[in-house]
Amino acid sequence: MNLRWFHALLILLSAALAVLFGVWCLDLYGREDSVASLLAAVAAFAVSFGLVVYDSWFLRKTRTLR
């Protein structure tokens, strides 16, 4: 596994962790009805989306590198 794929894997795992955090925040919002939990969930999903976009950009940008 070269450095390019290792970087892409770490970014993908970070996006998955952000999704899990967002799901946890939504569960907490359902139990406690706290606006802060809802905002944290929205932020976590936005970060996850941004990481996936960055990961696809990174893989496309570094496709020609050896």
Q: Are 15 and 48 in contact (CB under 8 A)?
A: yes
Percent of the chain with pLDDT over 90: 86
Report which DSSP code applies to 58: H
Report the pLDDT value the prediction gives residue 63, as an integer from 0 to 100. Answer: 87
How does pLDDT run across 40-50, given as a tens digit for each residue?
Answer: 999 999 999 99
Q: How confident is the model at residue 27 (pLDDT cuts 50, 70, 90)?
A: very high
Q: 33 near 56, Cβ under 8 Å? A: no
Q: Residue 64 has what pLDDT?
A: 84
- Whole-number average pLDDT of the chain: 94
Distance CA 55, CA 66 (A): 18
Report whether 47 contacts 21 (CB < 8 A): no
